Chains A and B, each alone.
Chain A
Amino acid sequence: MRKTIYIWTAVVLAGLVLESWAIYTLRLSGERWRFKAIVKDEPAAHALYDRMFETMRSAKSLSYEYSYSSPGEKSRRYMIWLKKPNYFRVEAFSAQGWRSGTLVGDGNNLWVYWPGDCPLIDPEDEEVPREARSNRYMTKPTGLGRHSIGHVVLDLGRGMGMPIVDPSTFHGYTDSLQPYIDGVAGRGTDRIGREKCDVIEVSIMNAQRTWYFWLSQEDHLPRRIKQIIRGAWGNGVDVEDWSHVAIDAEIAPQKFVWSPPADWQRYVAPDPEGELLKAGEVAPDFELQAVDGGTIKLSDYRDKVVWLYVWRSG
């Protein structure tokens, strides 16, 4: 009887200890609260961050593969080749594994082409016949250091994600978030696959955005990047995993050459100028909620000068 009591007491105590440990481990962490996520700058960590950009910018060529994933979604895959002065190529693969669009920069022009259906054409658009949706391409001039591969990647296929580090960094591009970095802090070391990496945390715009970089100790380039975006709707997490990273390797010039076959059709994006108001036209009335909860109508300011300033954070 006494033995049974001892056993049950031990079981209950073990249960309490385990439950206490579980509750402690599962407690809401500081990273959830934005003000706690702002990091103070550490020079050593910031140096690692700067070194990553230096390595990308000073290389003569760079190629890597990365997969981009978010919670609940299968990852999309990209293969990237970059070469100085102004050559680039991105091949995109959808979540289902099919090749979607390809982006080629031949030094002067940028080409995007889709052997399958062009994702920029609305599938519900009845004006475009079914057979005219595929074998399409898009092109525009691209100046050195003035192109953003990251923004174009979104056009390569439906559901494609914008890379966290814009590949155009290699060609001298600087993304618009860099001036808003709060600080860079070290987070120790870790292994991604077989590679030993330094881990750093970067907070941007009062931690509206946080980046974690796992930087290889060998070539100072990422092997994993995690992005957390904090908004009123909650937190969004995206993860990029890099692999097959090669610096200054030989890349065949044919990778950066493309011209449309004769039977392919050019896709021209609708001109937004056509949607804009012309000078002298009457603006449509609209109603918006003010910060004090009231309502503002454009027609309330008739015969007055109204300045509309449209902005977003991040």
Chain B
Amino acid sequence: MQSIRAYELIKETFLRKSYIWIVHLSWLGIYVLFGLLFLPTGEEVGLFVFIWGGFFLPLVLSAGIFGDDVASGRICVLATRPVWLGEFYIYRLLGLSLQGAVHLLLAGGLMFALDALLQPGSSSSLGLWLFSSWLLFNACAALSTSLSVVVKGAYNSLVLLLAVVIGFLLLDVLAGYWLERGAADAVRAVVRYAGPPVSLLNRLAKGEYGKYSLGVSKCDLMKTVACTVHCLILTTAYCVVGILILTRRQFSAQRE
């Protein structure tokens, strides 16, 4: 029974809006266009997939994932079922994660095919970039889904995008120019470890935790594992926050 419920809830994330497939197809088309127009190097391909697929895609896919249900009153109906609301959250996030994995695998396949046709050798480390993109996708999807519980409609993605951009810029400016060195490092550390793990995963993808680290790197595997563990724990922390808000919030039968 639980597995059927899980399957249905996961499937729901693929079919909840008609534009989901349009988004996936157009995103894949954009990767191809990028490859054809710019004949990028391996690092440029990886970085583009990392930002476009790992950061922007989960924002679009998770837009209104709970906010629409809150606005329409459907969440009230869901809350009255003998099912823990947290399960809805967990399986919807799993559905998003699965979508991200399939999408990134397809993106990788397309870029490898382009590489073979146009510029052999330019996608050498794409595997690491795809893995990093998927970890970033999960973290951003969890953060956006948690925001969707409190932000009505589909504005959760917009709020997250603005918060990330403005937050990083402000903190970087503040930390860079107005704070003493020690305090600046502390602020950057908070952003680095508590915010979306963009810089950590960027390093992982570039190989800085392995062969191309800035040291003798006897701990290649450890840093890679540490980065993966940190991203998964961060994703879990974002989920826990979202689940706590979802399960404790009182939902009105009225449309918001």
Contacts and interface: CB of A to CB of B under 8 A. Distances in A.
Interface string A12-56: 000100110111011001011000000000000000000000000
Nearest to B210: A71
B42 interface: yes
Contacts of A190: 216, 218
A19 B43 contact: no
Contacts, number: 77
B171 interface: no
A73 B227 CA distance: 22
A195 to B, nearest CB: 16
Interface string B53-66: 00000000000000
B159 to A, nearest CB: 26
A280 B70 CA distance: 82
A228 B226 contact: no
B121 A71 contact: no
A26 B230 contact: yes
B39 to A, nearest CB: 13
A212 B200 CA distance: 24
B222 A72 contact: no
A96 interface: yes
Interface of A is mostly: mixed
A26 B227 contact: yes
B219 interface: yes
A73 B46 CA distance: 11
Contact of A72 (B46, B200, B226, B233): B46
B215 A25 contact: no
Interface string A170-190: 000000000000000001101
A100 to B, nearest CB: 13
Given A15-B236, A19-B233, A22-B233, A71 B212 contact: yes
Interface in A54-77: 69-74
B193 interface: yes
B200 A26 contact: yes
B214 interface: yes
Contacts of A188: 216, 218
B229 interface: yes
B42 A15 contact: no
A20 to B, nearest CB: 10
B113 to A, nearest CB: 16
A31 B214 contact: yes
B29 interface: no
B207 A96 contact: no
Interface in B207-256: 207-208, 211-216, 218-219, 222-223, 226-227, 229-230, 233, 236
Contacts of A239: 211-212
A69 B46 CA distance: 17
A237 B193 contact: no
A25 B223 contact: yes
Given A26-B230, A201-B216, A73 B211 contact: no
Given A29-B214, A72-B206, A96 B120 contact: yes
Given A22-B226, A237-B212, A239-B212, A73 B124 contact: yes
B122 A74 contact: yes
B124 A22 contact: no
B214 A32 contact: yes
Contacts of A70: 212
A13 B73 CA distance: 37
Contacts of B215: 29, 31
A103 interface: no
A199 interface: yes
Contact of B43 (A18, A29, A71, A235): A71
Given A29-B214, A73-B41, A228-B214, A22 B121 contact: no
B229 A22 contact: yes
A222 B231 CA distance: 37
Given A15-B236, A18-B233, A95-B121, A25 B41 contact: no
Nearest to A27: B189
B86 to A, nearest CB: 13
B212 to A, nearest CB: 4
A239 B220 CA distance: 15
B250 to A, nearest CB: 24
A235 B122 contact: no
Given A19-B229, A21-B229, A237-B208, 8 more contacts: A21-B226, A26-B200, A26-B230, A72-B207, A97-B120, A97-B121, A188-B216, A239-B212
Interface of A: 15, 18-19, 21-23, 25-26, 29, 31-32, 69-74, 94-97, 187-188, 190, 199, 201, 212, 228, 235, 237, 239
Interface of B: 41-44, 46, 120-122, 124-125, 193, 200, 206-208, 211-216, 218-219, 222-223, 226-227, 229-230, 233, 236
Q: Which 3 A-B pairs have the closest CB atoms?
A: A72-B43, A25-B226, A22-B230
